[in-house]
Structure 1
Amino acid sequence: MSTDLSPIDKAKYAAARRASEMVEDGMRVGLGTGSTAAWLVRCLGERVRDEGLRFRAVPTSTRTAELAREVGIEVVSLGDAGWLELTIDGADEFDADLSLIKGGGGALLHEKIVATASDQMVVIADAAKEVDTLGRFPLPVEVIGFGWQATQALIEEALASLDVDGRDTKLRMDGDAPYTTDEGNRILDLQLGRIGDPRQMALVLNQIPGVVENGLFIDICDRVMIGHSDGRVETRDLATGTVTEDQADEGGNLFTDLDG
């Protein structure tokens, strides 16, 4: 493993490396978006090159699709793939119930569609992503561009009756212009501090006109693989309630051309 990587980057790599071993020939696999997912794609590309692994991938963003094609992975649409055996993705936060906040990379809508069209969703993350209560990371909410200010006002009104510590909402920007998702929508980031009832929050948000989807992933994640900087990977399986720990395969340096 590259000695130039930070401890957090080494942890992300370890989780990605270990998760890449779950992919088998002939599978249909959803590939997430973000820095950890990018390392997963690199690891899978190495297996395609060195082991002749063949599988069909459904990326959750144009960024992931471009990287997957670059490393030799076959990319197909979700419509062409149909149901998926496995989706592997990162998370901005996860709790003990494996509830997640996702969408920091702006792909929450595609990520949720792909994850729920899979037999199993596996999250790969470093230990810093674990929290006692969701909400420290801003909750992304994807909204349509038309009347987004009205949608924002309705969200802020709804937050007044929910169990949260903060109620600030901000339009995500990309430089001087609003950030635009792959579906042409915008994202509002909710600075909540703490979400007392994530399930209620998700239901309330998705009833507001103009909201396309929110970044709370409830009852979707089946397993989380937590990487550590020394190469250890802790795996928590929600269905079995088991926790296992092993060492990620210390392969070659896959990161010389990655931004991190």
Structure 2
Amino acid sequence: MTDTPSVAPAEQEKQRAASAALHWVQSGMLLGLGSGSTAAYFIAHLGAAVRAGRFQVQAVATSLVSEALARQAGIPLVEPRRGMRLDLTVDGADELDAQLQLIKGGGGALLREKVLATAANSLLILADSTKQVRQLGQFPLPLEVVPFAVPWVLDAVTSLGGHPVVRPDRTQPAQPARTDQGNLLVDCHFGLLPDPAALARELEQIPGLVEHGLFLGLAHAALIGQGEQVLLYRRGQEPQLVELPARP
């Protein structure tokens, strides 16, 4: 994928970050493939490199959509198994702050995304510059919820100040959106989060709430497209300029 003048600036930034992420891939790796538009760019770049013989890798995907993209791209997929550790998971984010705390789940794949983030030796986040925030919370916090428990989860989140809304299906708005596991998605409007860790602990106590979209202490690094450049962010370090692959 190459940038064109007709592509929106944020999409160009995503493409550049996804292309730069190939620097982190080595032959023999077992990779976690994220979900969402930025991860899709990475899957396309990785697939092209695999087909060209540059890498020999295997992967596990965080969603059925990403699985399909990986198969189309020619990336070999494997099933999860006991004892499996991923060398690297590459994923996007809906928000990230300077400490690489994240909100994820806008695409509805937060459960599998957190599973693969936790199962990886390293989590690399790809994002465009609009995803950077000083404080998490402008983006609604997604929850994955067992359908039976939804009324009680809504009550519990309301008591925490979350203003929860069951997410509608994009193609059939009269129906609720469902995850790959068949659960429902609830978007919570807390506003800015002064203490994401404290909120995460509160949410984890709610029965029927399968997973929340706060990813804290999981990301090891982030590649963020900023205009014509890509910067590498690590916790507690100054950002570094990343050399982009030469265009063909």
Say if 2:149 and 2:207, in contact at 8 Å, map to a contact too. Answer: no
Say if 1:135 and 1:194, in contact at 8 Å, map to a contact too. Answer: yes
1:81 positional shift = 7.9
Q: Call closer, same or farther: CA 1:13–1:80 in 2, change over 3 Å.
A: farther
Say if 1:171 and 1:187, in contact at 8 Å, map to a contact too. Answer: yes
1:150 positional shift = 1.6
Distance in 2 between residues matched to 1:207 and 1:2, nearest whole Å: 48
TM-score normalised by length of structure 2: 0.94
Match of 1:164 in 2: none
Distance in 1 between residues matched to 2:212 and 2:247, nearest whole Å: 37
Match of 1:31 in 2: 33
Distance in 1 between residues matched to 2:219 and 2:44, nearest whole Å: 22
Q: SS in structure 2 opposite 1:79? A: coil
CA deviation map 1:138-178 (0-9, x unaligned): 00011100131121111111x14xxxxxx321000102211
Q: 2:189 aligns with which of 188, 191, 198?
A: 191
Q: 2:216 aligns with which of 174, 196, 218?
A: 218
Q: 2:201 aligns with which of 184, 200, 203?
A: 203
1:249 positional shift = 1.7
Match of 1:92 in 2: 94
Q: Percent identity?
A: 39
Distance in 2 between residues matched to 1:81 and 1:27, nearest whole Å: 15
Distance in 1 between residues matched to 2:94 and 2:158, nearest whole Å: 22
Task: Determine whether 1:126 maps to 2:124.
Answer: no
Unaligned runs of 5+ in 1: 161-166, 253-260
Distance in 1 between residues matched to 2:8 and 2:22, nearest whole Å: 21
1:100-179 to structure 2, matched below 5 A, reads 100-157=102-159, 159-160=160-161, 167-174=162-169, 175-179=173-177
Structure 1 runs, 4 residues or longer, greater than 4 Å off = none
1:54 positional shift = 1.1
1:5 positional shift = 1.0
Say if 1:61 and 1:110, in contact at 8 Å, map to a contact too. Answer: yes
Q: 2:231 aligns with which of 234, 240, 255?
A: 234
Distance in 2 between residues matched to 1:36 and 1:145, nearest whole Å: 29
Say if 1:12 and 1:228, in contact at 8 Å, map to a contact too. Answer: no
1:22 positional shift = 1.2
Q: 2:20 aligns with which of 18, 21, 27?
A: 18
Q: SS in structure 1 opposite 2:47? A: helix
Unaligned runs of 5+ in 2: none
Q: SS in structure 2 opposite 1:148? A: helix
Distance in 2 between residues matched to 1:242 and 1:131, nearest whole Å: 16
1:190 positional shift = 0.4
Q: SS in structure 2 opposite 1:146? A: helix
1:187 positional shift = 0.9
TM-score normalised by length of structure 1: 0.90
Distance in 1 between residues matched to 2:40 and 2:13, nearest whole Å: 14
Q: CA RMSD in A?
A: 1.4
Say if 1:28 and 1:81, in contact at 8 Å, map to a contact too. Answer: no
1:37-56 to structure 2, matched below 5 A, reads 37-56=39-58
Distance in 1 between residues matched to 2:106 and 2:117, nearest whole Å: 16
Q: Call closer, same or farther: CA 1:45–1:145 in 2, change over 3 Å.
A: same
Say if 1:56 and 1:81, in contact at 8 Å, map to a contact too. Answer: no
1:250 positional shift = 4.4
Distance in 2 between residues matched to 1:216 and 1:146, nearest whole Å: 23
